[in-house]
Amino acid sequence: MVERPHKPSSLPNTAAAAKSAGPQPTVDISDDNARVTARLPSGESVTVLLYGATVISWKNADGTDNLWLSEKAALDGSKPVRGGIPVVFPVFGPPPSNHATSSLPQHGFARNSRWEYLGKSTSEASAESERASTAAGGADSSSVKLDFGLYSSNLSPEARKAWPYDFGVVYSVTLGPGSLQTAVNVRNEGDKAWEFQVLFHTYLSVKDISKTHLTGLLGVTYTDKVLSVPSATESTASLPITGETDRVYKAIPQSTTSVVVDGAPRFDVVRDNLPDTVVWNPWKEKAAAMADFAPDDGYKSMICVEAGAVAEWTKLEAGDTWEGGVTYRSLL
């Protein structure tokens, strides 16, 4: 693989962490084996539902959740989760009629399949950086990575029939101080090439959508699904959200899109090998029409900034591997 500047770091699972005198990250599996929660000594946490490998919570040390989750989100595996970070694969949106994914449901099968929890790995900062963090008033800077797997052999008979290709996907969720990384490694395990799309359908929590702006999209070409405009160019350096929004920004040259709320930076969304970003907010009428969207005015406190590779198809030859990911930074 080509080295990339924002590539999610690999965290070795070594005995050194266990022998450390300081507090360590903890990982708990729920009694019903439905979700995995990781916590840092600083108090930050992440919870992943095995149904869809959906991140349903990412909390700061003070308990503030960075993700928006609908009050009516189904967390029992009956339907995809409304909120958090659902994983979209191998197709984004309604599948085209003339493509190999045409028999799949909207957004594919990853978000409504049960994934396998593959385990954790942890890392600690060096003693020097730990001392620097302490001197600056920071907390323990250890990190924890959770890995999840989805394979063609795991799929439901319906999904397998609709998309009969051999594949393996390893999804990694890494919790660090002030940050969350999500990354996918996709492998073609068959003898035929196939195409796919992938996206992290991320619902970020904001205090007031009327005071929320996005930066980092100036000059980027986008498709506006609300206005049915196939191609336009973003002319605003600080993009406000003033109504229903559904745009696909394509081939973004800069790696970071930032969320600014009431004039203060709230999130950085840093893409790695993911060229596109979807910006979505249903606004009042569409939110009210969705049975699993609650409260009705919840659109005022969320914005979807969804990094992905969806404007084009990615072709994976037999035996080849593709990877990409995104880092979210909480700037509270």
Write out the catalytic residue numbers.
201, 306
Exposed, middle or buried: residue 293 (CB in 10 Å: 0-12, 13-18, 19+)?
buried
Cα-Cα-Cα-Cα dihedral sign, residues 65, 66, 70, 74: negative
Instruction: Provide φ and ψ at 154, rounded to 5°.
Output: -85, -15
d(CA 85, CA 81): 9
d(CA 3, CA 312): 22
Give the DSSP H or E segment for 57. Answer: strand 54-59
d(CA 156, CA 110): 11
**DSSP line for 98-130:** TSTTTTSPTTBSGGGSBPEEEEEEEE---HHHH
d(CA 96, CA 104): 10
